[in-house]
């Protein structure tokens, strides 16, 4: 079966996607600079699938290193490009880091594709491109709103770069996937989200608070125009999300695309509030998540959820997991991490 390059393959969504690709027989080459992930993720992938993917420690902003990688692994047929910086707050403080990293990586890959005869490209985009949509649920045809952060802007610019490049040369075939809010972990608890330092995103903060690593969760804003006053998002199981990438790659390889660049929303179609998540997490896992209300977080959108009809009908992909099972998987993963920490501490004492 085809050989697929997965950039950012040791990251959160990347690692789950590598598992699903290998499960159906694709050969995977991971490129990652480990800036926000751990090499041990490869062990988790191997435990689940029985296969250790090829790995190259490469920064995608390094054109020459990528070029050499394509020489080393001839016959790569498609690229799934996850590798990018993704912390909204950090991007406000370090915009040039975000523009350099996210834009240069994409440009390098697109430039190298025709040289190495790689036609197919899947890009990780985000619902952040919609800003606060005028109509909900939001479809792929909704207008792109001015970005609220440099991070969000890089996703918009990257989408435009892909469109312009494809327009200039019919060689390229791409699928842009706009993720809503990925959460949860692989049911085996061999891989999951590994945030560095204090988590920015809701779910890792919830699980770390439940585990006692954080004192309490601050719920950012309870005066929004929503039923309980807290923000609403479309939380999507990370394994469901990973499976959509396998379908997207297969669609490209089968040359089934209706256009050179196709765009799909990846969400469940259901919006849940911050309090819905906290309450459901507590109920299904039988643990407490101490929380209190705090002022609104700058740049937060009030409510957004997907219309996933296009992905459902055209891709033939649909989110399957319930939010209950997804929140259980997130907790199982956090408990696994706690156990690993204990083991490491015990080993250090010996």
As annotated, the active-site residues are: 151
SS3 label, residue 136 = coil
Both tokens of residue 327? 């929140």
Q: Give min distance, CB of 302 to ligand UD1, in A.
A: 9
Q: Which helix (H) or strand (E) holds 77?
A: strand 76-81
Is residue 128 close enough to count as binding ligand UD1 by CB under 6 A?
A: yes
Of 231 and 241, which CB lies nearer to ligand UD1 in the complex structure?
Answer: 231
Is residue 248 close enough to count as binding ligand UD1 by CB under 6 A?
A: no
Residues 6+ apart with CB under 8 A from 159: 123, 125, 129, 176, 263
Residues 6+ apart with CB under 8 A from 161: 103, 106, 107, 110
Is residue 201 close enough to count as binding ligand UD1 by CB under 6 A?
A: yes
Cα 125 from Cα 151, distance rounded (Å): 11
Of 173 and 291, which CB lies nearer to ligand UD1 in the complex structure?
Answer: 291
Of 26 and 205, which CB lies nearer to ligand UD1 in the complex structure?
Answer: 205
SS3 label, residue 177 = strand
Cα 145 from Cα 212, distance rounded (Å): 39
Residues 55-94: x where in contact with ligand UD1 by CB under 6 A, - otherwise, as a string: -------------------------------x-x------
- Residues 130 to 159 in contact with ligand UD1, rule: CB under 6 A: 149, 152
Is residue 226 close enough to count as binding ligand UD1 by CB under 6 A?
A: no
Can you give the C-alpha Rg of the chain in angstroms?
Answer: 20
Is residue 16 close enough to count as binding ligand UD1 by CB under 6 A?
A: no
Q: Which stretch binds ligand UD1 (CB under 6 A): 23-31, 42-50, 136-144, 212-220?
A: 212-220
Of 233 and 328, which CB lies nearer to ligand UD1 in the complex structure?
Answer: 233
**Torsions phi, psi of 115, nearest 5?**
-60, -40
SS3 label, residue 111 = helix
Name the site residues for ligand UD1 (rule: CB under 6 A).
Answer: 86, 88, 126, 128, 149, 152, 181, 200-202, 205, 217-220, 231, 233, 274, 297, 300-301
């Amino acid at each position: 079966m085809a050989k697929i390059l997965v950039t950012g393959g040791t990251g959160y969504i990347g690692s789950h996607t590598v598992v699903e690709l290998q499960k159906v027989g694709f050969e995977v080459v991971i490129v990652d600079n480990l800036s926000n992930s751990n090499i041990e993720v490869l062990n988790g992938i191997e435990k689940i699938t029985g296969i250790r993917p090829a790995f190259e420690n490469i920064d995608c902003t390094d054109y020459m290193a990528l070029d050499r990688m394509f020489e080393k692994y001839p016959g790569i047929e498609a690229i799934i490009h996850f590798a990018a910086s993704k912390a909204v707050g950090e991007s406000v403080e370090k915009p040039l880091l975000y523009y350099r990293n996210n834009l240069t990586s994409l440009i390098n890959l697109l430039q190298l594709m025709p040289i190495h005869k790689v036609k197919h490209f899947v890009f990780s985009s985000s619902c952040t491109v919609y800003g606060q949509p005028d109509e909900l649920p939001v479809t792929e045809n909704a207008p792109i709103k001015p970005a609220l952060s440099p991070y969000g802007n890089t996703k918009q610019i990257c989408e435009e770069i892909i469109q312009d490049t494809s327009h200039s040369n019919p060689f390229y075939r791409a699928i842009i996937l706009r993720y809503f809010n990925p959460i949860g972990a692989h049911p085996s608890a061999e891989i999951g989200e590994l945030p560095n330092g204090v988590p920015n995103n809701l779910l890792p903060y919830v699980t770390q608070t439940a585990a006692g690593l954080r004192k309490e969760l601050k719920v950012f804003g309870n005066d929004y125009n929503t039923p309980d006053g807290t923000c609403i998002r479309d939380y999507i199981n990370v394994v469901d999300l990973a499976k959509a990438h396998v379908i997207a790659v297969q669609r490209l390889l089968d040359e089934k695309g209706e256009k050179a660049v196709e765009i799909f929303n990846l969400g469940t179609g259901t919006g849940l509030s911050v309090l819905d998540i906290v309450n459901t997490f507590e109920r299904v896992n039988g643990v407490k998540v101490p929380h209190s209300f705090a002022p609104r977080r700058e740049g937060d959108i009030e409510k957004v959820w997907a219309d996933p009809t296009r992905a459902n009908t055209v891709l033939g992909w649909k989110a399957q997991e319930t939010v209950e099972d997804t929140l259980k998987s997130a907790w199982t993963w956090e408990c696994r991490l706690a156990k690993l920490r204990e083991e490491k501490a015990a080993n250090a004492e010996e």
